[in-house]
Amino acid sequence: MDSRNETAAEVKKNPDRLAIVEKIRQFEKDGLWSQDVEADPPTIPLLPDMVDYLNVKLSSRLWMKFANILARHHINTLLRKKIMILKEVRGLENYIELKRKGAIITCNHFNAMDNFAVYKAIEKHVYHRELLKVCREGNFTNFPGFYGFLFKHCNTLPLSSVPSTMKNFMYAVKTYLAQGRQILIYPEQAMWWNYRKPRPLTSGAFKMASENNVPVLPFFITMEDSDIVDSDGFFVQEYTVHILKPVYPKAELSVRQNAEYLKNENYLAWKNLYEEVYGIPLVYSDEAQ
């Protein structure tokens, strides 16, 4: 038996985490691709006066700078203690090509810390070492503790169920892209813990790219078991961050057509990479990962 399997067999797995794994398996079988599997805090509606998207206020800018310092320290601690393992970054030249140009970055969403891996992959090149990230409404308004602080202050652009707030959100997206910033969005929407396959994508990220005539830059993170078992009894995953070639809107297509084109091209790029790295066809079923 592989020594890693022996190690895993010796550690009792967290039943709550096992329940999440089973829920993911069932959601895959049922095709509920963008449905949440984690027990997130209840969402509190985000009103316009609760968020300063463009950091116009001095207090917002100061909190943002402080939050970025804390976040960078936290990421380095996670890496040093091997709570998160970043094995390799491939395709960095594809980001460098766009590092001062507006773009939508997409990535598969499988861990609460996967945005840290994205950030670390491009840290030396990203604008002022600050990566803009779209997050869910409840994460901004009602997430507790240290991560809740980062959701509020660390260059996040929260979505909202309030139309007037979303109007401000869209204006901020347009402004940042025009400034040559990149915005990380998870088009799979929900986080599925340690799920390795690319899922069918929602359209929002690609509509934003199309409306603002900016490219989509697909990231995809592949995983392999390390020899370290985490506190839940599962192997810590070693991440390889793949930065794929950007996909540009086509001048002859409408906004709607471009959004569909960008979404399909992004998904195809992820699918091809998945099959290349893991050496298996992408098949959705309840049988195999």
| Residue 123 contacts residue 130 (beta carbons within 8 Å) | no
- Rounded distance between C-alpha atoms, residue 27 and residue 239, angstroms: 24
* Averaged pLDDT of the chain: 94
Please calculate the CA angle 144-149-150 and round it to the nearest 5 degrees: 120
User: Which residue stretches of the chain are H helix?
Assistant: 3-10, 15-30, 58-80, 92-96, 114-122, 137-142, 145-153, 163-178, 204-211, 255-278
pLDDT at 9: 52
Domain membership flag for residue 174: yes
Pairing of the two strands 85-90 and 103-106: unpaired
Number of domains in the chain: 1
Domain membership flag for residue 153: yes
Domain membership flag for residue 271: yes
Domain membership flag for residue 34: yes
pLDDT at 276: 98
Q: CATH number, domain at 164? A: 3.40.1130
Domain membership flag for residue 189: yes
164-174: pLDDT as tens digits = 999 999 999 99
pLDDT at 4: 57
pLDDT at 242: 98
Q: Which residues contact 218 (CB under 8 A, 6 or more apart)?
A: 105, 106, 107, 243, 244, 246, 247, 266, 269, 270
DSSP structure class, residue 82:
T
pLDDT at 153: 96
Whether residue 286 is predicted with pLDDT greater than 60 in this model: the reply is no
- Rounded distance between C-alpha atoms, residue 224 and residue 85, angstroms: 10
Domain membership flag for residue 288: no
45-74: pLDDT as tens digits = 999 999 999 999 999 999 999 999 999 999
Label residue 12 by pLDDT band (50, 70, 90).
confident
* Residue ranges making up the domain that contains 237: 3-278
Label residue 288 by pLDDT band (50, 70, 90).
very low
194-230: pLDDT as tens digits = 999 999 999 999 999 999 999 999 999 999 999 999 9
- Token look-up 């540009």 returns 248
- Rounded distance between C-alpha atoms, residue 112 and residue 195, angstroms: 12
Whether residue 11 is predicted with pLDDT greater than 90 in this model: the reply is no
Is pTM, for the whole model, over 0.85? yes
Label residue 268 by pLDDT band (50, 70, 90).
very high
- Rounded distance between C-alpha atoms, residue 261 and residue 247, angstroms: 9
Domain membership flag for residue 47: yes
194: closest CA among 37, 29, 15, 11? Answer: 37
* Residues 8-37, mean pLDDT to the nearest whole number: 90
Domain membership flag for residue 286: no
92-133: pLDDT as tens digits = 999 999 989 999 999 999 999 999 999 999 999 998 889 999
